[in-house]
């Protein structure tokens, strides 16, 4: 017992000594500058999103930013990835933001935290959790008691998680942001004030709080006791962007909290790039004027899994790759932008910049076949149906992401008709008695109508719906999935036109989780009735997709060998539309419309020897083979692969939800160059 007490006493002494050694820093606003420990300080921040980087690579990316010449890391906190179900929190593995901030401190980098609750970031629903939509008439980003209660609960949980990294606790968090670009959403100072108060109540009362917006709208919600920062992109006139805030607060430090280095890609649109010169020149102009900045993005990374959002220009889902044409590319390697910016930042550094970390190895993987198959529409692979008289969206059935199949009995009809799906979100494949009727895509102008044949004996209607990313910008973020209103069949009967509002639905839910896809009933291609030679031969006979889609759609599986572990880019050019899992990790969505035709595979998710791959393809591949490439293909656009089955001229635009203000400012095109 005496020995135990001695050991405990020694441990207590060591703990006390460790606390005494903590260096407590101060950070505040000075006369036209920030003050760190009482000395003028210019923030040179790199925006990184830890959830878009494999945890095994976090320190490498942080060191890449330090070697670039940055002194801080700016990061969004994505509420929905940390609270995937209401009241269920996940701060483990790739969600361990506490560990990420600790790695920043270990590498001498300050941190700026942007906890939302809304963040945009081309992320599913702008970071808001899907389950908020289960509340009737939920009014997002407002003083709605249900929203404020949920957001406040999460902000408290997050604050507790990272409390040790507050400055007063010896940490490295310089600033915390209140909400995010709220001026592009509306005018509601009471709400922004409530979010500020919520953060202070969480423990950020001693931390510098700030709010960001555009120079054109920041005064709409600007609070007197917060720091105001501006967001704008390369090519902007720096003096003009800060003119108004300078007139209103001539003695306050200035900061560009998002200086956009590039841009994001959307499915079916051209790959976006921006030249390095305006980025470097803009940063030089800011540094010459003692203006702090955060480069959005310094490294974009990848929206793994189902986390890519959608833009609000109609409906424009974002690609899995979040390369962003940033100085550090998706795989974590240097680009021309990196070297040009590093050259500039070295001139503004009092010390020689650290050596650039060694790049992660990239390997090729020889083409291999996917030899096992589980048909998507086979009864043994579908979950038990739930029933409802009226049709409801996905959230009603307590599912956040993935796909679903609605089915019902059709009435007897003697003539062809029009099937109209109100609201269809987001990609539909329609069958009657197992025969393909057509495909619809919400991004094609909200198309929602197909011609259907006469059904003299009735028939079984099946509507497969794939939910793509929820809109992440504007008031359209209230974006439920599946079918949200009704399905109607209009036709002519003897002497009259008839409109049927279809009822009595069976609904089968297909989540996008590995636990679900690994449990399919996999058999060889031959056992499933598929022609192996057609699916894997170098020059297969191309069968029309209309006659083969239902048979080919499903889950393809294989094992493949890796001799040397390294990052690679999975070539998906022979596949149609779906998701990929490697060793249980979901790489994200692929779609042959492009521009992205490869998926980034982190080498840390591979292992030497045997690896598993599962591909869900909702339309079926041309060839059931893949290979690992050493270069990405994110600029190969094929808009001809978009569905063309809709009846044109009768489609209807999506109606605003009753909780939305139709007069509110919406659209990324509301301000040229806005993110």
Residues 71 and 118 sit within 8 Å (Cβ to Cβ): no
Q: What is the sign of the dihedral through the CA atoms of 405, 411, 412 and 417?
A: negative
> At 53, is the secondary structure helix, strand, or coil?
coil
For residues 398 and 404, what is the distance between their CA atoms, to the nearest angstrom?
12
181 counts as catalytic: yes
CB 451 within 8 A of CB 418: yes
Report the SS3 class of residue 333. coil
Residue 547's Cβ-count burial label (10 Å; 0-12, 13-18, 19+) is exposed
| pLDDT (mean) for 260-268 | 98
Inter-CA distances, 345 with 231, 287, 453, 555, 579, Å: 20, 9, 66, 49, 40
516 half-sphere exposure, CB direction, 13 A CA radius: 20
pLDDT of the residue at 494 = 82
Q: What is the mean pLDDT of residues 336-356?
A: 98
User: Bigger pLDDT: 427 or 652?
Assistant: 427
Q: Which residues of 300-324 are buried (b: 16+ CB within 10 A; e: fewer)?
A: bbbbbbbbbbbbbbbbbbbbbbbbb
Residue-wise pLDDT for 143-157, tens only, equals: 999 999 999 999 999
Is the pLDDT confidence value at 13 over 80? no
Q: Mean pLDDT, to the nearest integer, of 498-526?
A: 96
Q: For residue range 180-206, what is the model confidence (pLDDT) as tens digits? A: 999 999 999 999 999 999 999 999 999
Please, which residues have CB within 8 angstroms of residue 111's CB and are 6 or more apart in sequence? 72, 73, 74, 75, 101, 104, 105, 165, 172, 173, 174
Closest CA to 530 of 560, 550, 544, 546: 550
pLDDT at position 634 is: 98
The fraction of the chain above a pLDDT of 90, given in percent, is: 87
**pLDDT (0 to 100) of residue 671:** 32
Binned at pLDDT 50, 70 and 90, residue 12 comes out as: low
Q: Which percentage of the chain shows pLDDT scores above 70?
A: 91
The pLDDT of residue 538 is: 61
H or E element, residue 535: helix 532-536
SS3 helix, strand, coil % of the chain, rounded to 5?
25, 30, 45
Strand partners, 292: 255
Q: Which of 258, 330, 395, 447 is catalytic?
A: 258
Residue 483 and residue 430 in contact, taking contact as beta carbons nearer than 8 Å: no
Write down the pLDDT at residue 99: 98
Whether pLDDT at 7 is above 60: no
Across the chain, what does the average pLDDT equal? 92
Beta-ladder partners of 614: 557, 581
pLDDT tier at 532, thresholds 50, 70, 90: confident
Q: Which of 181, 241, 330, 466 is catalytic?
A: 181
- Do residues 597 and 636 touch, judged by C-beta distance below 8 A? yes
416 is catalytic: no
CA dihedral 620, 626, 628, 632 (to 10 degrees): -40
* Three-state secondary structure call for residue 563: coil
Residues in contact with 73: Cβ distance below 8 Å, sequence separation at least 6, in sequence order:
45, 46, 47, 48, 62, 65, 104, 109, 110, 111, 112
Task: Map out the domains of the chain with their CATH numbers.
Answer: 40-347 (3.20.20.80), 365-375+521-641 (2.60.120.260), 385-513+645-670 (2.60.120.260)
Predicted confidence at residue 528, as pLDDT, reads 87
Q: Is the confidence at residue 664, as pLDDT, over 60? A: no
Q: What is the pLDDT of residue 537?
A: 62
**Distance in angstroms (rounded) separating the CA atoms of residues 5 and 257:** 52
Sheet holding 598-601, edge to edge: 365-369, 625-629, 568-571, 598-601
Place 6 in a pLDDT band, splitting at 50, 70 and 90.
Answer: low
Q: Specify the pLDDT at position 9.
A: 59
106 three-class SS: helix
């Amino acid at each position: 017992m005496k020995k135990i007490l001695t050991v405990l006493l020694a441990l207590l002494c060591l703990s006390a000594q460790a606390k005494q050694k903590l260096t407590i820093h101060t950070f505040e606003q000075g006369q036209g500058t920030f003050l760190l420990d009482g000395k003028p300080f210019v923030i040179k921040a790199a925006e990184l999103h830890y959830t878009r980087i494999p945890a095994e690579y976090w320190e490498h990316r942080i060191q890449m930013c330090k070697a670039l010449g940055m002194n801080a890391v700016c990061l969004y906190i994505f509420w929905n990835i940390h609270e995937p179900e209401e009241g269920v929190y996940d701060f483990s593995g790739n969600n361990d933001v506490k560990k990420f901030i600790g790695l920043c401190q270990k590498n001498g980098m300050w941190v700026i935290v942007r906890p939302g609750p809304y963040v945009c970031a081309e992320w599913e629903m702008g970071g808001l959790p899907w389950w908020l939509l289960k509340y009737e008439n939920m009014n997002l980003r407002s003083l709605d008691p249900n929203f404020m209660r949920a957001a406040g609960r999460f902000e408290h949980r997050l604050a507790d998680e990272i409390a040790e990294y507050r400055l007063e606790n010896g940490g490295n968090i310089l600033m915390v942001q209140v909400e995010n670009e709220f001026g592009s959403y509306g005018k509601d100072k009471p709400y922004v004030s409530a979010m500020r108060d919520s953060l202070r109540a969480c423990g950020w009362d001693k931390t510098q709080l700030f709010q960001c917006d555009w120079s054109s709208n920041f005064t709409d919600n600007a609070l007197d006791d917060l720091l105001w920062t501006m967001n704008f992109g390369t090519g902007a006139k720096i003096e003009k962007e800060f003119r108004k805030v300078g007139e209103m607060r001539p003695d306050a430090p200035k900061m560009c909290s998002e200086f956009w280095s590039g841009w994001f890609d959307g499915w079916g649109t051209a790959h976006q790039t921006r030249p390095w010169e305006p980025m470097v020149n803009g940063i030089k102009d800011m540094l010459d004027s003692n203006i702090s900045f955060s480069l959005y993005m310094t490294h974009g990374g990848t929206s793994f899994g189902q986390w890519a959002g959608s833009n609000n220009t109609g409906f424009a889902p974002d690609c899995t790759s979040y390369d962003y044409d940033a100085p550090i590319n998706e795989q974590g390697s240097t680009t021309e932008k990196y070297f040009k910016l590093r050259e500039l930042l070295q001139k503004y550094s009092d010390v020689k910049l650290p050596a650039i970390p060694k790049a992660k190895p990239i390997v090729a993987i020889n083409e291999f076949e996917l030899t096992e198959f589980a048909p998507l529409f086979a009864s043994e692979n579908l979950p038990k149906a739930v029933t409802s008289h009226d049709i409801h969206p996905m959230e009603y059935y307590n599912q956040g992401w993935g796909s679903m199949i609605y089915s019902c009995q059709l009435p007897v009809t003697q003539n062809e008709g029009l099937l109209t799906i109100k609201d269809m979100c987001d990609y539909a494949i329609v069958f009657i008695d197992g025969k393909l009727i057509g495909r619809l895509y919400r991004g094609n102008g909200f198309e929602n109508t197909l011609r259907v044949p006469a059904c003299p004996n009735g028939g079984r209607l099946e509507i497969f719906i794939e939910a793509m990313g929820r809109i992440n910008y504007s008031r359209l973020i209230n974006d439920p999935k599946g079918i949200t209103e009704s399905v109607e069949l209009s036709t002519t009967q003897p002497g009259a036109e008839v409109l049927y509002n279809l009822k009595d639905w069976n609904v089968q839910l297909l989540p996008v989780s590995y636990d679900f896809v690994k449990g399919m009933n996999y058999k060889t291609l031959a056992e499933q009735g598929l022609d192996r030679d057609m699916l894997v031969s170098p020059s297969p006979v191309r069968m029309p997709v209309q006659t083969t889609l239902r048979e080919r759609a499903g889950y393809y599986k294989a094992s493949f060998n890796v001799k040397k572990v390294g990052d690679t880019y999975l070539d998906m050019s022979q596949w149609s539309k779906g998701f990929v899992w490697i060793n249980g990790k979901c790489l994200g969505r692929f779609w042959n419309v492009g521009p992205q035709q490869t998926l980034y595979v982190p080498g840390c998710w591979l292992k030497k020897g045997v690896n598993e791959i599962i591909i869900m393809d909702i339309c079926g591949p041309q060839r059931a083979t893949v290979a690992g490439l050493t270069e990405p293909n994110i600029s190969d656009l094929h808009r001809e692969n978009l569905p063309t089955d809709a009846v044109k001229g009768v489609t209807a635009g999506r109606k605003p939800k009753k909780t939305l203000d139709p007069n509110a400012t919406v659209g990324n095109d509301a301000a040229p160059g806005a993110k």
